[in-house]
Amino acid sequence: MEPLDSDLEYMVSKPEAPKPGSRVNALLIFPILGILLVLLFIASAIFQINLSDMVDTIIGLLLLFFALFIVLIFWAKAPGADKQA
Q: Which amino acid is at 10?
A: Y
Single out the residue of 18, 27, 29 nearest to residue 81, CA to CA: 18
Nearest to 66 by CA among 30, 36, 15: 30
Per-residue pLDDT tens over the stretch 14-57? 777 767 678 888 899 999 999 999 999 999 999 999 999 999 99
pLDDT number for residue 73: 93
Question: What's the pLDDT at 30?
Answer: 95
Of 60 and 77, the one with more pLDDT: 60
